[in-house]
Structure 1
Amino acid sequence: MISVRHLDVHFGQVRAVSDVSFDVAAGDTFGLVGESGCGKSTLLRVLSGLNRHWTGAIEVAGRAVGPARDKAFHRRVQMVFQDPFGSLHPRHTVDRALAEPIAIHGLDDAEGRIARALDDVGLGSRFRFRYPHQLSGGQRQRVAIARALILEPGILLLDEPTSALDVSIQAEVLNLLARLRAARDLTLILVSHNLAVVAHLCNRLAVMQAGTIVEEMTIDTLRHGKPAHPYSRELLDASLGYHRS
């Protein structure tokens, strides 16, 4: 479904992403992990079309895509951002947030689409005319997920979708995403620094360090604590917490 070859991204003299290549099969859940600043969110913004300054080759569903993307691409590929409050307009109701992509893409049955989207993320019609400040963090992220899914995309890009949420809410959102992926046969790419989050949702992952992919592995390899690269092992050890010697 997604193929990336020799991707490079520069910000001035800084090389944020360097010679990155990977593939994601249709229906797969693929994780990108690494410490802050390693380039994983930059990579996701390139895939989504938000960052147009890159070199390399990207294919989506067997078709090459360039820096500029058309409406058909954005119907197929949607993104959920890290901060559910920042990604929703504070003066727009949930109804308006969900109606906007429907209007932009000229889709019919806005009423039905909005109702189904809210039901799908476990909110329901009672949340339709609320404002973001009237919602909890988990509810705001559910609205953001509903907005991404209302166009019925085949690919969902997730940029740290639970990192701004309380730990008690994170599992609820991850379980929601897993259920929606199965129900809609979605292809997911999840960016996270949290290996537990990636292990919960993904089948495979790539470890990034300083803009490059240093290792790809299955979740079974991660769970058995057997990554091959030293940095991957350090990342796994760090995720297990601090142990006094």
Structure 2
Amino acid sequence: MSTLELDKLNVWFGDRYDRVDAVRGATFTVPSGASFGLVGESGSGKSTILRALVGLVPTWSGTMKVDGAQLGKSRPRSFFRDVQMVFQDPYASLHPRHSVDQVLGETLKLHGFKDIDKRIQKLLADVGLGPKFRFRYPHQLSGGQRQRVAVARALAPEPSVLLLDEPTSALDVSVQAEVLNLLTDLRDTRGLTYLMVSHDLSVVAHMCEHIAVMQNGEIVELLGVEAMRAMAPEHPYTQHLLDNSLGYKPTTDPTE
């Protein structure tokens, strides 16, 4: 079963002469329980697709479906029980004057849960934070701890789908692997479906089974992660991204 289906999705900003087509004809499916990556350079339209899915961009055409239900211009409340998003910057996405307890408690109340105290304790445990973090504020947490809180907030409504927008790019390299391993474990234990945006091909190779490569708003190639690891893409832009991920590649024999 496909949890996410996009067919000929177009997303744009502005109107008439000021119109910018950010996404053009994006088509892909993400099976239930899978992890799917969107890769490409900055400005290629990756994050715009996530924002269109959650209703943050109203100007779009085409078809978007979640669990077979077609999305319209607005999202029903039930949608946000099923689909949650983790943003790139964990400090910007958390209210600076709200404690972890308030962040999680308000989210749970918004979605109609009653046993708030018990659920907050479990959410903190699930993301590897103990009870001592419950009443801290964002400025009292490290970047990795803030992102764990952001993940806990996304898990609070018990969604089936997480949209991950560069979830580790704002973190120190030393803690990126910890957050990625946490996300991998949560996907296994909760049966989650991931749609992940990243410019880091090593992150995508670690997290995803299939990827879509985007260039200038268009998907230029769909491929399995094994083909990416084998450096066997079909599109020259994908090869370009892979070469860049490996660093400098000499064009001639250095012994000549």
TM-score range, shorter chain: over 0.9
Aligned residue pairs, count:
245
2:243 aligns with: 237
CA contact (8 A) 2:243 2:249 kept: no
Q: Aligned pair 1:11/2:17, yes or no?
A: no
CA-based RMSD of the aligned residues comes to 0.9
1:160 aligns with: 166
Distance 1:47 1:227 in 2: 28
Q: Aligned pair 1:101/2:79, yes or no?
A: no
CA contact (8 A) 1:51 1:67 kept: no
Distance 1:137 1:114 in 2: 20
Distance 2:249 2:24 in 1: 34
1:211 aligns with: 217
Q: Aligned pair 1:89/2:95, yes or no?
A: yes
Counterpart code for 1:180: L
Compute the displacement of 1:243 (Å). 4.2
2:73 aligns with: 67
The 5 A counterparts of 1:194-209 are: 194-209=200-215
Counterpart code for 2:111: H
Structure 1 stretches of at least 4 aligned residues deviating more than 4 Å after TM superposition: none
Secondary structure of the residue that 1:177 maps to in structure 2? helix
Distance 2:58 2:129 in 1: 35
Between 51-60 and 84-93, the greater mean CA deviation after superposition:
51-60
CA contact (8 A) 2:86 2:165 kept: yes
Q: Aligned pair 1:191/2:215, yes or no?
A: no
**What TM-score does the superposition give when structure 2 sets the normalisation length?**
0.94
Counterpart code for 1:35: E
Q: Structure 1, residues 92-132: CA drift from partner, whole Å, max 9, x if none?
A: 00000001111111111011111000000000111000000
Counterpart code for 2:4: I
The 5 A counterparts of 1:71-150 are: 71-150=77-156
- Structure 2 residue runs of 5 or longer lacking an equivalent are none
CA contact (8 A) 1:8 1:19 kept: yes
Sequence identity of aligned pairs in percent?
Answer: 58
Distance 1:243 1:64 in 2: 45
Distance 1:224 1:10 in 2: 35
